[in-house]
Amino acid sequence: MLLGAACGRHEFTGTVFEEARPAAPIRGQNFDGAPFDLADLTGDPVLLFFGYTFCPDICPLTMMELAAAQEALDREAPDLAADLKVVFVSVDPQRDSLARLEPYIHAFDPRFFGVRIPDTELEALKQAYGLYTGAAEGHSLDDEYYLLDHTSRIFLIDPEGNWRALFSADVTAETLVADLRELLR
């Protein structure tokens, strides 16, 4: 009986938090100019990713997996897909204007949010989410085409507004969907 129970257990790819921890507030503007407040998404599950549009590798690859996960959910679990919100928050507000965010987000899924926060709020947001950003080796933030090193994780925020799980940015759509179905059922 124990063997059967163990075989039926889902092994999570992400780190699942045992205790509810409220997600820190995020306020800014969506790529379409509309005000954005993470609190307005309470009631829906949210996948939250911090990155920047000039990122040459991790960010676009992660966004492609998030789009593939959304597409898979559209087919396999339309109720969950309809509620799921995907939010990309720029950690490079200096260069990521709303005009730059719009085509970037649309390249993945126009239903996604692409949020720009004020420069003055970036440090507090980084601290609240445990994020690191800094000029990549050999780059300076004074250069026009600098690269950033940055924390690359995907946060799952449950419908109550709490951090529920944390995923590596290299998670595949398939494993993300499996974890989401289990966590949000």
Between 149 and 159, the higher pLDDT residue:
159
What is the arithmetic mean of pLDDT over 10-31?
91
For residue 33, the model assigns a pLDDT of 97
In this predicted structure, the answer to whether residue 5 has a pLDDT above a threshold of 50 is no
Between 87 and 2, the higher pLDDT residue:
87
Report yes or no: 154 and 48 within 8 Å, Cβ to Cβ: yes
List, for residues 21-66, the tens digit of each pLDDT value: 999 999 999 999 999 999 999 999 999 999 999 999 999 999 999 9
Q: Kindly report the average pLDDT of the chain as a whole number.
A: 91
In this predicted structure, the answer to whether residue 2 has a pLDDT above a threshold of 70 is no
Q: In angstroms, rounded to a whole number, what is the distance separating the alpha carbons of residues 30 and 45?
A: 18
For residue 8, the model assigns a pLDDT of 59
For residue 112, the model assigns a pLDDT of 98
Q: Which residue is it, tokens 């509620």?
A: 83
- How far is residue 17 CA from its own chain's centroid? 17
Report yes or no: 132 and 90 within 8 Å, Cβ to Cβ: no
What is the arithmetic mean of pLDDT over 79-102?
96
151 contact partners, CB below 8 Å, separation of at least 6: 50, 129, 130, 131, 132, 133
Kindly give the interhelix angle for 173-183 and 58-76, rounded to the nearest 10 degrees. 50
Mapped onto helix, strand or coil, the DSSP state of residue 114 is strand
What is the arithmetic mean of pLDDT over 2-11?
53
Reading the block at residue 127, the tokens are 């601290």
List, for residues 108-156, the tens digit of each pLDDT value: 999 999 999 999 999 999 999 999 988 788 887 877 788 888 899 999 9
What is the arithmetic mean of pLDDT over 155-181?
94
